[in-house]
Amino acid sequence: MNKSAEFRNICKVTDIPEGEAKMFVVGEKPIGVYHVAGKFYALGNECPHAGASLAHGIIAGATVSCRIHHWKFSICDGKYLDEQKDDCDLPTFEVRIDGEDVLVKMQLE
């Protein structure tokens, strides 16, 4: 099956205040969109440890921590920061701003 990617309109820039995040479901995939230091980032929303929503986690600068067991991730690149465990890194998605819209590049099935 041929898969392609396209940018999808997720929300307005004003929907996510600086230093905050929101969770969106695109297709059937939950993603967290973060507004940090004037930029927007999109990550897989589920903590790989227990599946908790990271968009509802604790944001400190450019990191987000899971509310359940406090696993910490980089918002900028999805890296798991507590240990060197590449299998715990979060998937990342390219973000583009078009006027007032936040667009996220998603893989289409």
Instruction: Name 84's Cβ contacts closer than 8 Å, sequence gap at least 6.
Output: none
Domain range for 98 is: 4-108
State pLDDT tens for residues 49-81.
989 999 999 999 999 999 999 999 999 999 999
Identify the CATH number of the domain in which residue 85 sits: 2.102.10.10
Residue 107: per-residue pLDDT: 76
Strand order across the beta sheet in which 4-12 lies: 4-12, 101-108, 95-98
State pLDDT tens for residues 9-50.
999 999 999 999 999 998 888 999 999 999 999 999 999 998
Residue 109 — pLDDT band, cuts 50, 70, 90? low
- State how far the Cα of 75 lies from the Cα of 102, in Å rounded to an integer: 16
Residue 1: per-residue pLDDT: 46
Residue 97: per-residue pLDDT: 97
Domain count, the chain: 1
| CB contact at 8 A, 55 and 10 | no
